[in-house]
Amino acid sequence: MPDELAAVGYLCESAIMSNKEIVMDLIGRLPEDATLLEIAKEIEFVAGVREGFAQLDRGEGVPLEEVEKQLRSWITK
């Protein structure tokens, strides 16, 4: 399976690729014995990353300061 960071890297470089082209490229990088479940998980990961980038492009991101504040409230001592 491709490393998630490598997947994110090639997603950044593939802004002009269609969704179908990205999936075909992703499948081409998987081992021949990849299961359907593994393939589906990889596609789901790529879709999530692309949606995250789209949200940032639309200005829907959460500022780092807000994330840090929320994270502190989630951590229990």
Six token digits for residue 71: 């994270």
pTM surpassing 0.95? no
Q: Is residue 18 within 8 Å of 7, Cβ to Cβ?
A: no
Q: Is the pLDDT of residue 74 over 90?
A: no
Of 48, 55, 53, 26, which Cα lies nearest the Cα of 38? 26
- Where in the sequence is the domain holding 50, given as residue range(s)? 4-74
Q: Is residue 7 within 8 Å of 43, Cβ to Cβ?
A: no
Give the tens place of pLDDT for each residue, 13-42: 556 888 899 999 999 999 999 999 999 999
Contacts 24+ apart (CB under 8 A), 32-37: 34/1
Phi, psi dihedral angles at 47 (to 5 degrees): -60, -40
The total number of structural domains in the chain stands at: 1
pLDDT at 6 (0 to 100):
56
